[in-house]
Amino acid sequence: MNQHIIFSDEVLVNGYKTALTLSTDGILRWHDTNNVLHSLSIEEQFLGVSNAGQHVIVKSFVKEDGFCFGSCLVRKTFVFEPFSPHSLRILFDNIQSYIHSLGRPKRLFIFVNPFGGKKSASKVFANDVRPILEDANIEYTLQETKYQLHAKEVSHTLDLTNYDGIICVSGDGILVEVVNGLLEREDWQAALKMPIGVIPAGTGNGMIKSLLDSVGQPCTAAYAMLAAVRGHKRSLDVATIWQGETRFFSVLMLAWGLIADIDIESEKYRWMGSARMDIYGLQRALKLRKYNGCISFVPAPGFEDVGEPISLGVVESMEPLKAPQHSYQGPKVDFPSSCWRKLNGPFIGVWLQNVPWGSETAKAAPNAKFDDGYLDLILMRECPKLALLSLMSEMSNGNYVRSPHVLYIKVSHVDVSASHMLNYMWKGVCEYTHFVLFDD
């Protein structure tokens, strides 16, 4: 498609004279003193624009080869100096108009979890988040979380009309709190439309790793912030979980057995960041436990022959409790009419994944989709220790699911009943709810 030129004039660019053009596709083009053509995409590379005196100042993110094993995103400032006030006004107005047409966020509410991972979130915000917000001319309200479930409490009462999105500078825990706080509001239908972004600053960072990896980008604060500034969105499934009389919502993963033990019991090594998972995982693999229980599920198409069928009487007893009226009720499910099947333990580990990556280093569910309406169920049965260590080494690329010791299926409903130390039971139902995330 031919693009029309909407601005063309001679200007000074960072001090040298050249012809500058702006086309209708939002591309600025000019030549440097060596007659090399340069270009900047407003949609892909611009953070913000301002004018001061006779200058149009563009703040941008550009890729440069550096010390980061490939192309790095680098903040750069370009100064354009037209030779007349009229030319300056046309250039600035056209750039500003194009940015506004992209629907980018102008006001954000930002959670920073200073306790997550290596307690680096405050530093990540200061070094990687705040400068980009300022370059992009985005207003923001900052809230440091002070205790567990603080983000959930704030999200539950936050005046959403004041913001275009919520950003979590943290690991996955704050994201889960925010989702639960929003879905327990009386105006949950409006809250579903509030975009949420994640900046990796925790132990796991599985959600932002999944988002960025899906478009071939590295999991860094810079790329995550660029996704948020651009304002692109992606829909996300939400699983409704009942555990006894408690109901909550999951967007990343649920685990029982090996992975859950590693996550919970390695808390004492939190100062190590994500490395705590690998180190404690090795310890737990060498002292392997088995978990007795039964996994009941409604399979997705293509997995109807997995497991054994369940009698109607057993299915009728699975009906979850009613949810509070003034909040998201969860999906409407006719439990008795669903085709339930079951698998009996013992198991080594049970995972339910909503997105491919459980953490930055563990591709737990390589076939998971963000919005297919299903959860990916991964079961690991009895496995020799050496084989288990080999499997764990292949979690970084997802190849472990090919092992004969691993069963990988997709499900829409799950019921886990287990006995290990304490009685443990929960029911999960996944639904495509149109919850949205900032996505590149």
- Of 135, 172, 376, 415, the active-site residue reads 172
Predicted pLDDT at 423: 37
* Enclosing domain of residue 47: 5-102
In a domain, residue 284? The reply is yes
The full 3-state SS of 3-30, as one line of letters, equals: CCEEEEEEEEECCEEEEEEEECCCEEEE
What is the secondary structure of 383-426 as a DSSP string?
A: --HHHHHHHHHTTTTTGGGGSTTEEEEEEEEEEEEEEESEEEEE
Together in a domain, 155 and 229: yes
In a domain, residue 271? The reply is yes
322: left (phi over 0), alpha (psi -120 to 50) or beta: beta
Answer with the one of 70, 102, 134 that is the final residue of a domain.
102
pTM metric for this prediction: 0.87
In a domain, residue 428? The reply is yes
Together in a domain, 90 and 48: yes
Together in a domain, 267 and 368: yes
Together in a domain, 181 and 259: no
- Rg of the Cα trace of the chain? 25
Give Cα separations from 109 to 134, 154, 184, 201 (angstroms).
14, 10, 18, 17
Together in a domain, 76 and 97: yes
Distance CA 428, CA 248 (A): 10
Kindly give, in sequence order, each residue whose CB lies less than 8 Å from that of residue 272, ignoring residues fewer than 6 positions away. 118, 279
Kindly give, in sequence order, each residue whose CB lies less than 8 Å from that of residue 246, ignoring residues fewer than 6 positions away. none
In a domain, residue 329? The reply is no
Contact by Cβ (8 Å): 138, 106: yes
**Residues pairing with 420 in the sheet:** 422
Burial class (CB in 10 A: 0-12, 13-18, 19+), 91: buried
- The angle formed by the CA atoms of residues 213, 216 and 221, to the nearest 5 degrees, is 60
In a domain, residue 18? The reply is yes
For the question of residue 159 being annotated catalytic, the response is: no
Together in a domain, 166 and 66: no
Predicted pLDDT at 353: 93
In a domain, residue 332? The reply is no
Residue that has been written with the tokens 């950003």 in this structure: 167
Distance CA 22, CA 94 (A): 8
Together in a domain, 294 and 201: no
The domain total for the chain is 3
Together in a domain, 180 and 287: no
Distance CA 53, CA 178 (A): 43
Predicted pLDDT at 3: 76
Residue that has been written with the tokens 């209708």 in this structure: 24
CATH number at residue 63: 2.30.29.30
Predicted pLDDT at 167: 96
Together in a domain, 64 and 158: no
Together in a domain, 190 and 256: no
CATH number at residue 299: 2.60.200.40
Predicted pLDDT at 422: 36
Together in a domain, 300 and 222: no
Kindly report the number of other CB atoms within 10 A of residue 329's CB atom: 14
Predicted pLDDT at 116: 76
In a domain, residue 328? The reply is no
Question: 230 is written with which tokens?
Answer: 């651009």
Q: What string of pLDDT tens digits covers the 440 residues of the chain?
A: 567 999 999 999 978 899 999 999 999 999 988 889 999 999 999 999 999 999 999 999 988 765 555 568 889 999 999 999 999 999 999 999 999 999 999 999 999 999 876 788 999 999 999 999 999 999 999 999 999 999 999 999 999 999 999 999 999 999 999 999 999 999 998 998 899 999 999 888 999 999 999 999 999 999 999 999 998 888 999 888 887 778 888 999 888 877 777 766 666 666 666 566 666 666 666 677 778 888 889 999 999 999 999 876 566 566 666 666 678 877 777 766 778 899 998 888 888 999 999 989 889 999 999 999 899 999 988 888 778 888 888 888 999 999 999 999 999 988 887 644 333 445 566 654 555 666 76
Q: How many residues does the chain have?
A: 440
In a domain, residue 225? The reply is yes
Together in a domain, 225 and 306: no
Residue type (1 letter), 50: S
Answer with the one of 198, 218, 234 that is the final residue of a domain.
234
Contact by Cβ (8 Å): 243, 418: no
Give the phi and the psi of residue 277 in degrees, each rounded to 5. -65, -45
Answer with the one of 78, 102, 126 that is the final residue of a domain.
102
Distance CA 356, CA 30 (A): 42
